[in-house]
Structure 1
Amino acid sequence: MRVAFVANSAWYLRNFRLSTLQAFTGVHEVSVHYPEGGAVSAMNSLGLTQHPFYLDSSGTHPLKELRGLLALWRSLRRARPEVVFSFNPKTNLYALMACWLMRVPCIPNVSGVGNASQLGGAKGRLYRTLAGFFYRRAAHVFFQNSDDCEAFLRAGWVREGCYSLIPGSGVDLARFAPTLQTGAKPRPFRFLMAARLLAAKGVREYCAASRALLAVHSGVECWLAGGLAAETRGVSEAELDAWHATPGADYLGHVDDMASLLHEVDVVVLPSYYPEGIPRSLIEAAACGKLLITTTMPGCREVVVPGENGWQVPPRDEQALLAAMSAAMTLSPQERAAMQQASRELAERRFDEQIVIQQYQQVLAQQTSQGVS
Structure 2
Amino acid sequence: MEKKKILIVASLSHSLINFRGDFIKSLIKSDYKVYALAPGHPDKFKTKLIEYGAIPIEFNLNRTGLNPVMDFKTIRELKSIMKKYKIDLVFPYTVKPVIYSSIAANQCNIPVISLITGLGFAFTGLTFKARVLQRLNETLYKLSIRKNKVVVFQNKDDYQLFLDRKILKEDNKVAFVSGSGVNLDQFQYRINKIESNKISFLLVSRLIKEKGISLFLEAAKKLKEKYPESEYHIIGATDNSPSSIKEEDLKHLHNLGIIFYYGKQTNIPEHLYRRDIFVLPTYYREGVPRSILEALSVGLPIITTDTPGCKETVKKDYNGILIKPQNLGELVNAMEYFLINKEKIEGMGINSRKYAEERFDVKIINKDLIDLISKVI
Q: Is the 8 A contact 1:225 1:252 kept in 2?
A: yes
How far apart, CA to CA, are the structure 2 residues paired with 1:282 and 1:122?
30
The 3 A distance-change label for structure 1 pair 175 and 82 is same
Partner AA of 1:113 in structure 2: L
Check the 8 A contact 2:138/2:167 in 1, yes or no: no
SS of the residue corresponding to residue 253 of structure 1 reads coil
Counterpart position of 2:52: 46
Question: Which residue does 2:359 correspond to in 1?
Answer: 350
Contact 1:33 1:75 in 2 (8 A): no
Matching residue of 1:179:
190
Is the 1:25–1:47 Cα contact (8 Å) retained in structure 2? yes
Change (3 A) 1:61 1:243: farther
Q: Alpha-carbon deviation of 1:186?
A: 6.3
Q: Distance in 1 between matches of 2:74 and 2:208?
A: 23
Distance 1:111 1:291 in 2: 24
Do residues 57 (structure 1) and 63 (structure 2) align? yes
Residue in 1 that maps onto 2:14: 11
* AA of the residue aligned to 1:103: N
Give distance in 1, aligned partners of 2:120 and 2:256. Answer: 33
Q: Tell me the CA shift for residue 367 of structure 1.
A: 1.1
CA RMSD of superposed structures (Å): 2.2
User: Shift of residue 181 of structure 1?
Assistant: 5.6
1:1-373 matches, within 5 Å, as 1-26=4-29, 27-36=31-40, 38=42, 40=45, 41-117=47-123, 118=125, 124-159=134-169, 160=171, 162-180=173-191, 188-333=198-343, 335-368=344-377
Deviations 1:120-157, CA, capped at 9 Å, x for gaps: 67765443222113221111011100100111223333
The answer to whether the 8 Å contact 1:214/1:247 transfers is: no
Cα distance in 2 for partners of 1:314, 1:122 equals: 25
Q: What's the counterpart of residue 371 of structure 1?
A: none
Identity of aligned residues (%): 26
Classify the secondary structure of the residue corresponding to 2:178: coil
The CA distance in 1 between the partners of 2:131 and 2:335, in whole Å, is: 39
Alpha-carbon distance, 1:311 to partner: 1.0
After superposition, the Cα gap between the structure-2 partners of 1:357 and 1:122, relative to the gap in structure 1 and judged at 3 Å, is closer
Instruction: Report the TM-score when normalising by structure 2.
Output: 0.90
Stretch deviating more after TM superposition (24-33 or 234-243): 234-243
Pair 177,188 (structure 1): closer, same or farther in 2 beyond 3 Å = same
Q: Against the structure 1 CA distance between its residues 308 and 36, is the aligned structure 2 distance closer, same or farther, given a 3 Å change threshold? A: same
Q: C-alpha separation between the residues in 2 aligned to 1:180 and 1:328?
A: 16
Cα gap change, 1:190 to 1:120, in 2 (>3 Å): closer
Contact in 1 for aligned 2:155/2:177 (Cα 8 Å): yes
Per the alignment, do residues 319 and 125 of structure 1 end up closer, same or farther by CA in structure 2, a change over 3 Å counting? closer
Q: Is the 8 A contact 2:191 2:299 kept in 1?
A: no
Unpaired runs of at least 5, structure 1 = 369-373
The secondary structure found in structure 2 opposite 1:285 is: helix
Do the aligned partners of 1:220 and 1:248 also contact (CA within 8 Å) in 2? no
What is the rounded CA distance, in whole Å, between the counterparts of 1:79 and 1:62 in structure 2?
26
Residues 1:243 and 1:61: Cα distance change in structure 2 (over 3 Å): farther
May I ask how many residue pairs the two structures share in their alignment? 366
Amino acid in structure 2 at the alignment position of 1:101 = Q
